Structure 1
Amino acid sequence: MIRKPAVAGKFYDSAPAQLRAGVDGFLKKDSRPSGRLAGILVPHAGYSYSGSPAGAAFSALKKIDFDTLVILATGHTMGLQRGALPAAGAFETPLGQVEVDEVFRTELLKDKKLFEEAPRAHAGEHAVEVQLPFLQALKGNKVKIVPVLFNTDDAGLLEEAGRAIGRAMKDRSALFCVSSDLSHYPPGNIAEISDRSVLLALRQAMRNASPEYFHQANTLLFAKASEYLDTTACGQAAMTAGAAAALELGCNDFELAVYTHSGQVSGDSSAVVGYGAGFFTRAAPAPAGALELSGDMKKELLALARRGIGACLKTGRVPAQPLSPRPEFNQPAAVFVTLNIGGRLRGCIGSLEPRGALADMVASYAGAAAFEDPRFSPVTEADLKKLDIEISVLSPLARVGGAAEIKEGVHGVYLVSGRRSGTYLPQVWEHFGKKEDFLSSLCAEKAGLPPGAWKEKSTVLYTYTVDHFSEN
């Protein structure tokens, strides 16, 4: 079956010579990621809007030899519960035909839980088609494709499907392309905040090996910005699956090459679409997974925590935080807020896993530490003036095989035994001279377990690190 072009003359030029000249112009950029490349993120709008960022991404493939390009794309035309593959055959553009890799396609279709053959989904879909002239300009007809469309909200299925694609790529000379635009129809200033938050979330998901993080980030972001936009990323599903495929291939980073939006092209920023292009890579050494918070950001978060406590004093609640102009503050975050007066603990509340965006969690847990810690009476107006506020932003939990893997003075420890659990932040190490004393106290004082429970095989230990900062 030959899938004929559906958007030639609309999204890109239908005349072969003009199309080739335009694509060659976009490909003049020489973009090179710093890490080992496994895949690219490319927008899929009309070339007048997204051709330049698309060219920046595809230009990184110029000197790479590969036989197959897997295209994980947004499915716009019909609902899909699984990854949708086309029928056997080829896709046609004004530059010729690109053959579907039948062996690869057939291998994926063996898993009927994750993939299905759905030619109708591909018939009028532009998200795959607009990538093909770039591939043809670079490699002619030498490279085959495996187009897969996604639009389900099932994050678990998307991760499974992405990892299945990654496994299938391992024994082949293959790269992948994620085809997605970003926000749809917010004002330009909101688009820049939302889009840069999404792109940062993709980087954090890669650095922390968590496609679920990306899914959660988009859910939180849309809840804050839904009055302004239709979606945070039309290809959120494809991006989630792409991140999973990249992780399966050993990648640990996402490198942004270009960001723009339609208003920067048309001059009309009243209702725009965002476009990002970048690279899924394996960096060496592996980049840290923590959010990178500047000194000014930390000061703003401490001030936000103090305002949250002040608001609770006056109204009994912490107000919800709006969309932040800082993309870092819109990221999912595990946070603890600790209150001290004169060097003595006055309250500490937080979470070991992300339950909301960083700004929301700082404000909320500051209020909870001041008024809901059962070990202390509620903070008063007089107390507020004396408080020293400390914020700890946690890395993801990492399960360890035993106490020998715990680094004194570096790791926070979360301990679980049956239905009992407890944690000590890394800052607590200063109260103990030995690791054994630290862990025994954690068992007895925080988890309600015998002091030596950390030695038992049935006890599960997790470590984490923190970026902690305080007013004093």
Structure 2
Amino acid sequence: MKRKAKFAGSWYPDNIKEAKKYLFDIPEDKKIDVISCICPHAGWMYSGKVAGEVYSLIKPADVYILVGPNHTGFGENVAIYPEGSWETPFGELKINSELVELITKNSEFVIKDTKAHLNEHSLEIQIPFLQLITKKDFSIVAITVRVEDYQMCQDLGSAISSAVKEYIKKNSGQKVVLIASTDMTHYEPQSYAYKLDSLAIEQILSLSPKKLFDTVISYGI
């Protein structure tokens, strides 16, 4: 099963020379060994420099778990791409089916589903960045979330945590990074968007998932 690129040449460049312009030249000793990060998913012409700076700063991993919103409304509420590969103009990536099985096993809500991913942009536009920064072979897990439900979000987070612990125990030396994609506040003046986004960031930094969820819902972030 292969998911072909849907947004190359429109939402992001389809040639490597143009794509590399979005990366920053960060010395290796300045790069960060992260567990997770947040990146936007608008077209690269809008948010590519922000995403590019994040990806330029992180040390490459063996597996990336991508979690993003479902904008199309198709597919399961929490949909994990089951197997096979994803393709972009820069190459083909394998789905890490072992981690897919572990996450699904540990979750009440995660369902194997391809429909949610077929025309969804939020995860596809992360992958070219990963291909540019990661010189070794790596695999991905792709998950979309369609509904704003705290129980589902909490379940997904717990399932990913348990699955990664089990995976690393079986695959010693493998590095797994979680990438959560959000555009934060939309269509507001910069000063107002900054104010709202700061409320959400405050809850992220305080490690308060329920308060973060409530803040996002209350302010429409």
Scaled by the length of structure 1, the TM-score of the pair is: 0.42
Partner of 2:50: 53
CA distance in 1, matches of 2:202, 2:164: 26
User: Partner of 2:122: helix, strand, or coil?
Assistant: helix
1:371 paired residue number: none
Q: CA deviation at 1:69?
A: 0.5
Mapped partners of 1:133, 1:191: distance in 2: 27
Question: Greater relative contact order: 1 or 2 (C-alpha under 8 angstroms, separation 6 or more)?
Answer: 2
**What does residue 211 of structure 2 align with?**
213
How much has 1:83 moved relative to structure 2? Answer: 2.1
Counterpart CA distance in 1 for 2:184 and 2:131 is 25
Separation in 2, partners of 1:118, 1:51: 28
Q: How far apart are the structure 2 equivalents of 1:32 and 1:195? A: 25
What is the DSSP-based 3-state SS (H/G/I as helix, E as strand, rest coil) of the residue aligned with 1:126?
coil
Q: Aligned to 1:75, which of 47, 70, 74?
A: 70
Which amino acid in the other structure matches residue 129 of structure 1? E
Greater strand share, structure number: 1
Whether 1:86 and 2:89 are equivalent positions in the alignment is: no
* Alignment-derived partner of residue 171 in structure 2: none
Does the 8 A contact of 1:97 with 1:141 survive in 2? no
Do the aligned residues in 2 keep the contact of 1:84 with 1:116 (CA within 8 Å)?
A: yes
1:10 is matched by which residue type in structure 2? S
> Are 2:107 and 2:155, in contact at CA under 8 Å, matched by a contact in 1?
no
CA 1:52–1:70 in 2, change beyond 3 Å: closer, same or farther? same
Partner of 1:130: helix, strand, or coil? Answer: helix
Whether contact under 8 Å (1:169, 1:175) holds in the other structure is: no
Q: Distance in 2 between matches of 1:86 and 1:141?
A: 22
Give the SS at the match of 1:127: coil
Could you give the per-residue CA deviations for residues 314-373 of structure 1, whole angstroms, max 9, x where no partner exists? xxxxxxxxxxxxxxxxxxxxxxxxxxxxxxxxxxxxxxxxxxxxxxxxxxxxxxxxxxxx
Match of 1:178 in 2: 180
Alignment partner for residue 96 of structure 2, among 101, 124, 139?
A: 101
Distance 1:169 1:97 in 2: 23
Q: Which runs of 4+ in 1 moved over 6 A?
A: none
What's 1:195 paired with? 197
Cα distance, 1:27–1:99 mapped onto 2, change above 3 Å: farther
Q: Which of 112, 133, 137 lines up with 2:132 in the alignment?
A: 137
Q: 1:99 to 1:27 in 2, by over 3 A?
A: farther
Aligned to 1:166, what secondary structure does the other structure show? helix
Q: Secondary structure at the match of 1:92?
A: strand
Q: In structure 2, how many angstroms separate the alpha carbons of the residues matched to 1:194 and 1:75?
A: 22
Structure 1 pair 141/118, CA: closer, same or farther in 2 (3 Å)? farther
**C-alpha separation in 1, matches of 2:112 and 2:76:** 12
Asked whether 1:4 is paired with 2:10, we answer no
Indicate conservation of the 8 Å contact 1:39/1:175, yes or no: yes
Pairwise CA distance, 1:81:
5.7
What is the CA distance between 1:141 and its match in structure 2?
A: 5.8
Distance 1:119 1:199 in 2: 32
Give how far 1:48 is off: 1.8
- The 3 A distance-change label for structure 1 pair 78 and 141 is farther
How far the C-alpha of 1:51 sits from its partner, in A, is 1.4
Name the aligned partner's letter for residue 50 of structure 1: S
Count of paired positions: 212
The letter of the residue matching 1:202 is: I
SS of match in other structure, 1:51: helix
CA-atom RMSD in angstroms: 2.1
Identity %: 25
Distance change >3 Å, CA 141–CA 102, structure 1 → 2: farther
